[in-house]
Amino acid sequence: MSGLVRAWAGLAVLSALTTLVALSELAAPWAGALILLAAWLKARLIFLDYLALRDVSGWRSGLLFGLALFMALLFTLYGVA
């Protein structure tokens, strides 16, 4: 149960940070990169704790690798723009 509370708190903090970055005067490339990084960390938390993959090593590695590839694609498309 405490793991779920930590996951929810982590998601809430990352969402708050995303809002702060979006409202800040930070230059667009850096702001966008931080926003994507926060989204990546949030997706990891949902996989690991809400979907209970933290203790399932094989599937966890595969899914997190797939997520990392997808985020790398988004970072690339954002960076090129």
Kindly list the residues in this chain that would bind other proteins in the complex (CB under 8 A). 1, 4-5, 7-8, 11-12, 15, 18-19, 22, 32, 35-36, 38-39, 42-43, 46-47, 49-53, 56, 58-59, 70, 73-74, 77-78, 80-81
Tally the residues of the chain. 81
Residue closer to other proteins (CB basis): 50 or 65? 50
Residue closer to other proteins (CB basis): 25 or 58? 58
User: Least distance in Å: CB of 20 to other proteins?
Assistant: 11
Q: Contact 7/49 with Cβ under 8 angstroms?
A: yes
Q: Which two tokens stand for residue 60?
A: 């966890």
User: Least distance in Å: CB of 42 to other proteins?
Assistant: 4
Q: Which residues contact 75 (CB under 8 A, 6 or more apart)?
A: 33, 36
User: Least distance in Å: CB of 65 to other proteins?
Assistant: 14
Half-sphere exposure of 31 (CA within 13 A, CB side): 11
Q: Which two tokens stand for residue 33?
A: 């990169």
